[in-house]
Structure 1
Amino acid sequence: MNSNPKQRALRLAALGTIAVTALALTACGPDITAGTGDDAASDRLQAPGAEQPEGEITIWDRSGDLFEVFDDVIDDFNEKYPGIKVNHEAVDINAKLQNTLITGTDVPDGVFLDDAMIGGFADHLWDLTDVLDPYVGDIAPQKIDATSVGGGIYGVPYDLNPGLLYYNATALEAAGVDATAIETYDDLLDAARAYQEKKPEAHPIHLEQSAFLGQLQLEMYASQLGTSIADAEGELRLDSPEYEQILTFLDTVRSEGLGTRAEYLTPTDIAELENGNQVFYPWAIWFDFAPQQLLPETSGDWRAMELPAWEEGGARSGAMGGSSFVLPKDGENSELAWLFYEFLMYDEAGFSAVWGVNDIYPTGLNTSIPAYLPAADPTKPLFDPIEALGGQDLWEVATTAGAQIPSGTSIPSWWSSAVDYLGNDIQKMLDGDLTPAEVISDSTDSIQTNLIDRQ
């Protein structure tokens, strides 16, 4: 159904940050110890044996436009599985899921969950290795890694959120700066310097002022380099040449006055985007919400391209946020819920209904792309070109970028708690109070002592 444009704008804003806002709530489940042998096998969900299984499932999603999208797909699902009744409930998942899993009362069969929270809940969830086996080779490797714990896969990957470089093409062209020539982060610095020469009051590159989002953006940059805050065993790896390179870049933007320091899409941020002072925004695909809804004066001036590479020939994108579907072991009909998610993500009718043109998104859902690579075919767009990006085919840009994201690792259960250390230290560096080396040293010591050693 169509909704009021202002209400849709607010819900789309929530969708744009859905992959990140909920991460601030840390799942407090017990540490995960992967099973072995028969124990591990018994934790693996199996698909129903019947060709037309029957039963009733309860699916939890967050309220909002995305809930409505998933809700509309239920009729299509029931054309394939008429014997499965879907009870679709809008729930405050972050407030309710933990206690529900601990008590084992009224446990849903399937839940929409942020990737960063899966590790903390994995001992309550089905290992989906066996049911995902026919598809796993065609799922973005980064998403498989992000949902894996101890050798098992605990989420049905939903979205891929490739990092892109958004830029004000009109303002840059007027200043004689060719943004399309940017291939590396050194090129981005040079382009920012050239723009500032023509417009001295400008601070062309966005510098994130939120500790949480700053840490998430840092991980986007790290993802490009094939690393992350911790390895597959949960060991810290901040103390590395990759993180030193990223932090040095951010510190250079700060020290040369090339950055606009603001929180993501707050009034100050929006004002500097509209007046042409801030013209480069390295962010996840879901920044496209801004020119579509929040930047009326410069809507149509913005474009997107792959992120610059850290080295010539390097990956031109990294992952920033993301969600998946999980199936609790105490759900009554989790095997039937698997069929719902299988249809939603791996059946063309399902994924086309989610990302394609529909009543909720008349031009398609364009704030993410599918994690299932056959659905993310650059030559077969699911959403339309975007008027607010000058009619650009964002689908082609985003899917090409997404295909370059290197493999990663599972996300540690303490990730969001690390914001108190790493996220805050990044902000101290942007204040000029810490060096990149001090950020690495101080954050490593604090996270190890206060989070890892206390598990």
Structure 2
Amino acid sequence: MEFPYGKAPFWILVMAIITGSAMMLSRVFTSAGRPDLVFVVFAPRHYDAYLKLIPEFERKHNVKVQLQQVHQRPLQTRLQSALLADTDVPDMVEIMNPFMGAFMKGPLEDVGFVDLTDRIKAEKLDEKMVGSRFSIWSSRGRIFALPHDVHPVALAYRRDIIEQLGIDVNKIETWEDFVRIAHEKIVKDLDGDGIIDRYALDLSISGTSFFPIVLLQRGGAYFDSQGNLTVDSEITIDTIIWYIHQSRGKTRISFPAGEGQPFYKALSDGIILFNFVPDWRSKVFEIDAKDLKGKMALMPLPAWEKGGRRTSTWGGTGLAITEKSKNKELAWELAKFLYLNKQDFSDRFALLNIIPPLKEAWELPAFQIEDAYYSNQKVGQIYAELAQETPPDYVGAYYEMVDGKTREVLVDGGVYYEKYGNDGLREFVTQKLKQKAAYIRKVMNRNVFMRETELQVTDANASKENAG
């Protein structure tokens, strides 16, 4: 659909929106008189938690900190506009994974955030925290944000039904075990009407959220640590085909339960028995599916190979300091005060079940408590053990494009599979993925700013550090 008044008025409107957004952000940051630090977050619960902690920091340093909350998408777009327009920006911001990639399309010196690499290494935070979590906030080997969380992924399952079926989850060591048991004991037409009434797993057909989980667990990735595109690796192809087999066709083991009320009804009714649940989602289950208290339990993800990684990661938040801040050292002190605060770790876990990246925090009493919702399991310890093996997740400057194109291949491959079966499926998926990757590389190579950093966009299978 074309803009009715022509291209020139359209671009004038676009520029007006960008400039207006930047001016709006600027006014927000300056309207009440400039404090020593302005800190913007997107999560309401983070805002509430920091509001309680910041007064102590203000007293200790004799400063004034202004805390604001803005929804993530407007925060990202307004911050980008403000940086481009060279207007006032906050001193500190929290950013949601994978939106950091949007700021990484230029040379490192133009990212707009303070390079924290040397500070992090000087204080040995790269050793004290889960090392893989810095990957989300890194570009070309440099770190631009401090990780707030780990978000290891487990499987939450209907313990009551699984035990009735005589399934010992301790014997499910690999995804091969899981699929076999799903076919043998779980996926059933319970009333004989020819329609499957119970499935093993919740998987969306499009792969939204879930596909990156299994890809990262398997050792695959969209990018490597230097920003090279690795999406068209053999690991990605294998994982797409596996995902299609489990989510499409007559022998699928999964049901697309969706979100909100439809999902929780499917969970409560026993239509799906296993779910991908990072730490934060385990608390959401407790709140939104109260009727399942004592009927749920957690287990590690099945490994792709026996003895392999038993978890993945889903989501994340990081704290960045803007280059335009006039109080960078003070901002760094506030970042550490908030992100290394043991009392906040305990309160945060009690409220949200979120595992912090600081490993010493896992020994706190709050992480040893039995949770009645999950059949008296020590949820904190389960996730803490998984946190140590969470895979790296390099987002890259073009992450959203790569994720979208990869899921297009997943959907197209699913349609092909339902029509033709396995005959030619691998060739079809490989061809489609290579085509998408070639297009993405073409877009990436047009970015002269990235080329100036001598970033080499190479074929995934020729890269020295591919996802596998």
TM bin (shorter chain): 0.7 to 0.9
Q: Is residue 352 of structure 2 the alignment partner of residue 365 of structure 1?
A: yes
Q: Is residue 309 of structure 2 the alignment partner of residue 315 of structure 1?
A: yes
TM alignment of 1:53-132, pairs within 5 A: 56-78=36-58, 81-92=60-71, 93-122=75-104, 123-132=111-120
Alignment partners' CA distance in 2, 1:279 and 1:188: 12
Q: Is residue 385 of structure 2 the alignment partner of residue 400 of structure 1?
A: yes
Q: Secondary structure at the match of 1:297?
A: helix
Following superposition, the deviation at residue 109 of structure 1 comes to 0.8
Q: Which residue of 1 aligns with 2:456?
A: none
Alignment partners' CA distance in 1, 2:384 and 2:103: 30
User: Does structure 2 conserve the Cα–Cα contact (< 8 Å) formed by 1:291 and 1:302?
Assistant: no
Q: Which residue of 1 aligns with 2:7?
A: none
TM-score (ref. length: structure 2):
0.76
Q: Which residue of 2 aligns with 1:229?
A: 222
Q: Is residue 270 of structure 2 the alignment partner of residue 286 of structure 1?
A: no
TM alignment of 1:171-190, pairs within 5 A: 171-190=161-180
Following superposition, the deviation at residue 275 of structure 1 comes to 0.8
Residues 298-350 of structure 1: CA deviation (Å, up to 9, x unaligned) = 2331111111110000011112221100111012212211101111122xxx2
Q: Is residue 197 of structure 2 the alignment partner of residue 201 of structure 1?
A: yes
Residues 410-448 of structure 1: CA deviation (Å, up to 9, x unaligned) = 311211123432123323344445945534432342243
Q: Which residue of 2 aligns with 1:260?
A: 255
Q: Which residue of 1 aligns with 2:264?
A: 270
Following superposition, the deviation at residue 262 of structure 1 comes to 3.1
The alpha-carbon distance between structure 1 residues 372 and 179, as it changes in their structure 2 partners (threshold 3 A), is: same
Alignment partners' CA distance in 1, 2:256 and 2:386: 26
Following superposition, the deviation at residue 381 of structure 1 comes to 3.7
The alpha-carbon distance between structure 1 residues 444 and 370, as it changes in their structure 2 partners (threshold 3 A), is: farther
**Which protein shows a greater Rg?**
2
Q: Which residue of 1 aligns with 2:234?
A: 241
User: Does structure 1 conserve the Cα–Cα contact (< 8 Å) formed by 2:227 and 2:397?
Assistant: no
Residues 176-203 of structure 1: CA deviation (Å, up to 9, x unaligned) = 2222321111111122121225845212
The alpha-carbon distance between structure 1 residues 382 and 73, as it changes in their structure 2 partners (threshold 3 A), is: farther
User: Does structure 1 conserve the Cα–Cα contact (< 8 Å) formed by 2:367 and 2:381?
Assistant: no
Alignment partners' CA distance in 2, 1:437 and 1:87: 56
Q: Secondary structure at the match of 2:291?
A: coil
User: Does structure 2 conserve the Cα–Cα contact (< 8 Å) formed by 1:110 and 1:334?
Assistant: no
Residues 51-93 of structure 1: CA deviation (Å, up to 9, x unaligned) = xxxx8111001151221012211133335x3312211111231
Letter aligned with residue 229 of structure 1: Y
Q: Secondary structure at the match of 1:421?
A: helix
Alignment partners' CA distance in 1, 2:427 and 2:156: 29
Q: Which residue of 1 aligns with 2:431?
A: 441
Q: Which residue of 1 aligns with 2:157?
A: 167
Alignment partners' CA distance in 1, 2:43 and 2:222: 31
Following superposition, the deviation at residue 352 of structure 1 comes to 2.5
- Within the candidate set 325, 345, 362, 1:376 is matched to 362
The percentage of counterpart residues that share the same residue type is 20
Following superposition, the deviation at residue 388 of structure 1 comes to 2.3
Alignment partners' CA distance in 2, 1:192 and 1:296: 26
Q: Which residue of 2 aligns with 1:328?
A: 322
Instruction: Report the RMSD for the aligned CA atoms in angstroms.
Output: 2.5
Letter aligned with residue 87 of structure 1: Q
Letter aligned with residue 230 of structure 2: R
Q: Secondary structure at the match of 1:344?
A: helix
Letter aligned with residue 251 of structure 1: I
Q: Secondary structure at the match of 1:441?
A: helix
Alignment partners' CA distance in 2, 1:161 and 1:167: 18
Alignment partners' CA distance in 1, 2:239 and 2:126: 31
- Within the candidate set 347, 369, 372, 1:387 is matched to 372
The alpha-carbon distance between structure 1 residues 385 and 99, as it changes in their structure 2 partners (threshold 3 A), is: farther
Q: Which residue of 1 aligns with 2:12?
A: none
Number of residues of Structure 1 aligned to a counterpart in Structure 2:
387
Following superposition, the deviation at residue 125 of structure 1 comes to 0.9
Letter aligned with residue 113 of structure 2: L
Q: Secondary structure at the match of 1:314?
A: coil
Letter aligned with residue 335 of structure 1: E
Alignment partners' CA distance in 1, 2:45 and 2:255: 31
User: Does structure 2 conserve the Cα–Cα contact (< 8 Å) formed by 1:299 and 1:388?
Assistant: yes
User: Does structure 1 conserve the Cα–Cα contact (< 8 Å) formed by 2:221 and 2:394?
Assistant: no
User: Does structure 2 conserve the Cα–Cα contact (< 8 Å) formed by 1:201 and 1:277?
Assistant: yes
Q: Secondary structure at the match of 2:227?
A: coil
Q: Which residue of 1 aligns with 2:108?
A: none
Q: Secondary structure at the match of 2:310?
A: coil
